[in-house]
Amino acid sequence: MRELSPLFKPLKIGNRVAPNRIVINAMECCDALPNGDPSPETYARYERLFEGKAGIVVLEAITTQYDHRSRKDQLSIREHNLPALKKFVAHLKKINPDTILLFQITHSGEISNPEFSTRIRVTKEPLPGYEDAKLVGEKEIDEVIDQYIQGSKYAYEVGADGVDLKLCHGYLGSQILRPYNKENWKYGGSWENRKQFAINIYDGVRAAIPDPNFVLGSKISIYEGFPGGFGTLNSDSACMDLTEPIDLIKTLEAHGANFILQSAGSPSITLDLAHPDVRTPDYAYIHFYLQKACRNALRPETAVIGSGYSIYRDGRKGFHAVKKEKNTLRFWGEKNINEGVVDAIAIGRQSYADPYLPAKMEKNDDASIKWCTLCDHCVEMLIQQTKVGCTTFDKKYTQEYLNMIHTKGSIKEKHT
């Protein structure tokens, strides 16, 4: 009898148990209804993911407000959305009650889109490229903290199993954590000040939702990869220094985090680090180091979920000095779980290409998986505010992409 793959051993996350260790990353798709409710396209995408039997599905970045958002047609979690979200969650749970559903609560901060919202920043000196961002201070950030807490309460009310309090990819949480946020104020300057933003959210959510079964954690860009970014030595250094990221995750653990979802980079600045590409496949190996650093720092009961796995696919893309059979998504997922590098693996683009990957892998039917070609057309669609899906394997999105190119043209730079 074949030994059970580490990928398909249950994972305890807080007081809940995921049936396997494949996680679907939060992937924004620009397809909500105008009021922020799930659309038919939203339903179809998550229906497939729940049919695909992932252990955990993270609902894409869902905003608590409209004034500062990165996607025009973005899911929102406000009072008027609650009936639709409750119906949506119940529908997915009816399809598959075993998959854990987390809502990723977000605020776009400096990467809000100025075409339909307002960019904000917390630094007197704007990050180069974000000079049009409005400077805000303690009052506005305290309001954001309240919104995160209220959004989490709403997620609980509509039936989500937990929340991912987003601290990654250039959104407001990242912006506050960075050494670049160097001016001395309530949430800036010293590391103690900068991490207080996240602490206040965690304490507020745990106080507002005393249910011990509600799962709490964050996706974090452990190293953003540019001068002054999170995980660097100081406000103008690009040297990797994980002192603050490691202290952050240990602090969040002490304040109630059940999981840390490791990521890296900021897609609007260092896209290939966040999302290793065929041009730079070896960036994916950096994620392993970051995952191991997180795993070493935390208690065994705090789950560490690792990102950056989609690029490995079936071992056929862009890597050198390695046998393809020892460079697949399955190989690295199993190896890294076995060796204590990470507890679970998360996929992003691959979930567009084949939402049924977990079910197929569980049956050892890897040969039938539709592997992401890493064409990045989905990223182009996200940048252009077009409904996002797999242009390779879904004709609907092939046509969406062609229509986008015809009406908007091709993008000049691949930054979200």
Residue type present at position 109: G
Q: Taking a C-beta distance cutoff of 8 angstroms, is the pair 319, 281 a contact?
A: yes
pLDDT at 249: 98
pLDDT at 277: 87
pLDDT at 1: 43
Per the rule left: phi > 0, alpha: psi between -120 and 50, beta: everything else, 396 is: alpha
Which tens digit of pLDDT belongs to each residue from 384-401?
A: 999 999 999 999 999 999
Query: In whole angstroms, how far apart are CA 192 and each of 68, 84, 188?
Result: 26, 39, 8
Place of tokens 């995408």: 45
Structure tokens at 75: 């899911």
Structure tokens at 311: 């690029």
pLDDT at 415: 75
Q: Across-strand partners of 163? A: 103, 216
Listed as ranges, residues in the chain with pLDDT below 50 are 1
Q: Taking a C-beta distance cutoff of 8 angstroms, is the pair 16, 161 a contact?
A: yes
pLDDT at 188: 98
Closest Cα partner for 336 from 13, 22, 55? Answer: 22
Q: Taking a C-beta distance cutoff of 8 angstroms, is the pair 100, 18 a contact?
A: yes
- CA gap 206, 102 in Å, rounded: 15
Burial class (CB in 10 A: 0-12, 13-18, 19+), 273: buried
Chain-centroid distance, C-alpha 368? 27
pLDDT at 2: 64
- CA gap 155, 151 in Å, rounded: 6
- CA gap 228, 245 in Å, rounded: 13
Which tens digit of pLDDT belongs to each residue from 200-237?
A: 999 999 999 999 999 999 999 999 999 999 999 999 99
Per the rule left: phi > 0, alpha: psi between -120 and 50, beta: everything else, 14 is: left
- CA gap 34, 39 in Å, rounded: 9
List alpha helices for 162-301, DSSP H: 172-177, 191-208, 243-254, 271-274, 283-297
